[in-house]
Amino acid sequence: MLKKFTGNLSQKEKSLKELYKLIFENGSVSKGDLIKLTGMRQTTCTRLIDELLVSGLIKECGYGESSGGRKPLMYEINKNINYVIGIDISRTYTKILLMDLSFSIIAQAKFKMNETTTPDVTIDLIISHINKMMKLYQLTKDDILGIGIGTIGPLNREKGIIINPNNFPSDGWENIKICERLNDVLQLHTILEYGANTALLAEYSQEPFNQFRNVIHVIKGTGTRTGIIMDGRLVLGTDKLSSLGQGHMIVDLYGRKCSCGSNGCINAYSSISAMKNDIIDAIQQGAPSLITNKVSNIEDIDFNDICQAVNDGDPLSTRIVQNAAYYTGVGLANLAQVLFPDLIILSGPTYTNMELFYDVVTSTASKRCEKMYSNQRIIFSRGQLGENATAIGAGRIVLEHFLADSASNGTLNKLYI
Ligand SMILES: [Zn+2]
């Protein structure tokens, strides 16, 4: 029935949708509160609540606090009436989550992205995993509300196209009509969004993060991606920032040459390949390092070797990671002094797998912002949802789509501006 909340709605259907949305947003709510929030007459509200109960969209969930008289009966959404699928397609892996309407994970699948995962292979694998999940849980396409995808830009969200993301390990990631292709086979409504935004949306729905008004979320792995919430709303229209993070922010006027042609960009110091190249150069010039025990050819070191070496206390790797984190922290301070966030969430492999990188970035950014923030301080966090954040948020945008005031093909949410 949730799918009926789209298209041209009668006045009664609009009222049912409004009530359902308020119950979803509030978690659990009494009839009295719903009357206050909507301005509906008591008889109308009672009749509509009964209709939502009979349809199975909502259910009773015990009694709330009394404000004098009898304790009020509370209502919540029925989280098992429909399901959503959230997908995170990144440069290193693709993750697929089947979730109920409270975004609890029912089933999950993950595969690595490598030189063989062309768009055709990736789409086939996604379809195969979704079919397996639906079969395992005996779900039909009517049970699934839709599919949300959080991925790397640039994107054409309205048309559901991945345009030409950099640094995918396989060839062929150009102008991929991913929503159309999944919809053709699975016949499920599919929505595309920047992964940085879906991850932020998922994190921002968690306590206590939902108490903050201004939040920046940076995902740092092979590339850097950034999502922003200002005054409680997810900022759309920042496509370049969603795709590139602030990786080309200049932190040293006469610094290193960057791949973009400029000098002194954050990426020139702190991308994984920049750190790797620094370590290789130093070793080739004779610097001792534990990392030489890991590989027979030093050119073969990868991100995991660097993390391991830092965690083992290798002085060379530690110095290079500290330096990379310092420049990143300076860049983050610059961004903070434009947006003045209350909370900065730092996630992705670079922050998650290297305590040292996270510590140096946060202490550098804090110190540089100290005066501007006066008595306040920025709160830093690695987030609460870890690697699942992007896919959970992607599932969330599907439900948000059905609850938007006028559902169409885009991502529609009161959080969006
Ligand atoms: Zn650059």
Strands of the 29-30 sheet, one edge to the other: 29-30, 73-77, 58-63
Residue 70: predicted pLDDT: 86
User: From the CA of 335, how far away is ligand 1's center (Å)?
Assistant: 16
Contacts of 121 (CB under 8 A, 6+ apart): 170
3-state SS, residue 62: strand
Give the pLDDT confidence score for residue 238 in this predicted structure. Answer: 67
pTM of the predicted protein model: 0.88
- Predicted confidence (pLDDT) at residue 153 exceeds the cutoff of 60: yes
- The whole-angstrom separation of Cα 240 and Cα 403 is 28
Residue 414, pLDDT score: 39
Distance from residue 259's CA to the centre of ligand 1 (Å): 6
Q: Residue 192 to residues 7, 235, 269, 354: CA-CA distances in angstroms?
A: 20, 16, 31, 30
Task: State the pLDDT at residue 95.
Answer: 98
d(CA 250, CA 268): 10
The residues, any chain, with a CB within 8 Å of residue 326's CB and separated by 6 or more, are 360, 364
How many A from CA of 183 to the centre of ligand 1? Answer: 37
The verdict on whether omega for the bond into residue 154 sits within 30 degrees of 0, i.e. cis, is yes
Phi, psi of 84 (to 5 degrees): -130, 155
Which range has highest mean pLDDT (206-210, 256-260, 323-327)?
Answer: 323-327
Question: What does the H/E/C string look like for 205-270?
Answer: CCCCHHHCCCEEEEEECCCEEEEEEECCEECCCCHHHHHHCCCCCECCCCCCECCCCCECEHHHHH
What average pLDDT does range 228-237 have in this prediction?
A: 87
Lowest-confidence range among 214-218, 286-290, 295-299, 394-398?
295-299
CA atoms within 13 A on the CB side of 196: 33
- Write b or e for each residue in 55-73: b if 16 or more Cβ atoms lie within 10 A of its Cβ, otherwise e: eebbbebeebeeeeeeebe
Q: Which residues pair with 112 in a beta bridge?
A: 93
CA 274 to centroid of ligand 1, rounded, Å: 12
Q: What is the mean pLDDT of residues 190-210?
A: 93
Please give the DSSP secondary-structure letter assigned to residue 57.
S
Instruction: Return all residues near 160 (Cβ < 8 A) that are at least 6 apart.
Output: 177, 178, 179, 180, 190, 191, 192, 409
Distance, CA 268 to ligand 1 centroid (Å)? Answer: 7
Distance 162 CA to ligand 1 centre (A): 23
Give residue-wise pLDDT tens across range 87-118.
999 988 999 999 999 999 999 999 999 999 99
pLDDT at 65: 86
C-alpha 244 to ligand 1 mean position (Å): 10
Q: Is the pLDDT of residue 257 over 90?
A: yes
Look at residue 417 in the predicted model and tell me its pLDDT.
34
Average pLDDT rounded to a whole number, residues 270-290: 93
Q: How far is the CA of 151 from the centre of ligand 1 (A)?
A: 22
Q: In the prediction, which pLDDT does 406 show?
A: 57
Residue 225 Cα to ligand 1 middle (Å): 14
Q: What is the mean pLDDT of residues 33-37?
A: 92
Token representation of residue 84:
């959503």
Q: How far is the CA of 233 from the centre of ligand 1 (A)?
A: 29
The rounded Å distance from CA 250 to ligand 1 centre is 7
**What are the DSSP E strand ranges found in 322-378?**
343-347
Distance 265 CA to ligand 1 centre (A): 5
Gap from CA of 260 to ligand 1 centroid (Å): 4
CA of 266 to the centre of ligand 1 (A): 7
DSSP string across 141-202: TTTEEEEEEEE-SSEETTTTEE---TT-SSS--SSB-HHHHHHHHH---EEEEEHHHHHHHH
Predicted local confidence at residue 410, as pLDDT: 39
Q: What is the pLDDT at residue 241? A: 73
Residues 6+ apart with CB under 8 A from 197: 150, 227, 234, 236, 242, 393
Instruction: Report the pLDDT averaged over residues 207-216.
Output: 92
Q: What pLDDT is attached to residue 413?
A: 42
Ranked by mean pLDDT, the top range of 123-137, 164-178, 217-231, 332-346 is 123-137
Q: Which residues have a beta carbon within 5 Å of ligand 1, which is an ion?
A: 248, 258, 260, 262, 265
Res. 1 pLDDT band, cuts 50 70 90: low
Cα of 303 vs centre of ligand 1, distance in Å, is 21
Give distance in angstroms: CA of 95 to centre of ligand 1.
Answer: 29
The secondary structure element, H or E, covering residue 52 is helix 42-55
Whether the per-residue pLDDT at 148 is higher than 70: the answer is yes
Per-residue pLDDT, 101: 95
**pLDDT higher than 90, residue 224:** no
Which region among 28-32, 295-299, 389-393 has the lowest average model confidence (pLDDT)?
295-299
Q: What is the pLDDT of residue 372?
A: 79
pLDDT higher than 90, residue 247:
no
- In the reported structure, the alpha carbon of residue 212 is separated from the centroid of ligand 1 by a whole-number distance in angstroms of 31
What local confidence, expressed as pLDDT, does residue 262 receive? 94
Q: How far is the CA of 176 from the centre of ligand 1 (A)?
A: 26
Q: How far is the CA of 185 from the centre of ligand 1 (A)?
A: 40
